[in-house]
Amino acid sequence: MPELTLDQWAAVRVAYETTAQGLREIAAQHGVSHVSVAKQAARHGWLRPGEAPPLPDEAAEEKLVARLYRTFEKQVAELELRFANGEVGVDEKDARTLSVLARTLETLGKLREGTDDAAGDAPVDIEALRARLQARLEQLDAAGPPADATAGGASA
């Protein structure tokens, strides 16, 4: 059987996606095998009339949001550790990091609102987490460097 041009395949696709004709009938009308039409349809995601595209996997979305939360919490813990290890105050880099973390927290909150809590986990209270983060940073800043810290804030 001859190879079809792009325009001919476009006509096959129109017949496949807009008519109730059988696969063999469409193939015969266009001079190709029904196997070729089936492969082309699968390769390019053609849909028969009335078929709906698959729904997104909500479980995968929830797992991604949970992973992002864990990453966020790890970054906050690393920042807390740096402060606890004697770095004095909050410098410009830390301020930028905190700003990015705050935006990340806001984005994660929006993502969480957009997903169902199917696993039964308690929803995260963004405001409480933000307040805890701020209180912890203020504690670390108020405590100052440990007694054995070198001047200028040594970093691990």
**Whether the predicted pLDDT of 34 surpasses 90:** yes
Residue-level pLDDT at 118: 42
pLDDT band (50, 70, 90) for residue 145: low
Flag whether pLDDT at 32 surpasses 80.
yes
**Computed over its alpha carbons, how large is the radius of gyration of the chain?**
29
Q: What is the mean pLDDT of residues 80-99?
A: 74
Dihedral in degrees, nearest 10, Cα atoms 97, 102, 106, 111: 40
Overall average pLDDT of the 134-145 stretch: 77
Give yes or no for residue 70 having a pLDDT over 80: yes
- Against a cut of 0.85, is the pTM above it? no
Which of the given ranges, 46-50, 52-56, 116-120, 122-126, has the highest pLDDT on average?
Answer: 46-50
| Among the ranges given (9-13, 74-78, 105-109, 112-116), the one the predictor scored with the smallest mean pLDDT | 112-116
Give yes or no for residue 4 having a pLDDT over 80: yes
Residues 137-147, mean pLDDT to the nearest whole number: 72
Decide which of 78 and 15 is more confident: 15
- Provide the residue ranges of all domains of the chain, joining segments of one domain with +: 6-44, 58-143
* pLDDT reported for residue 147: 56
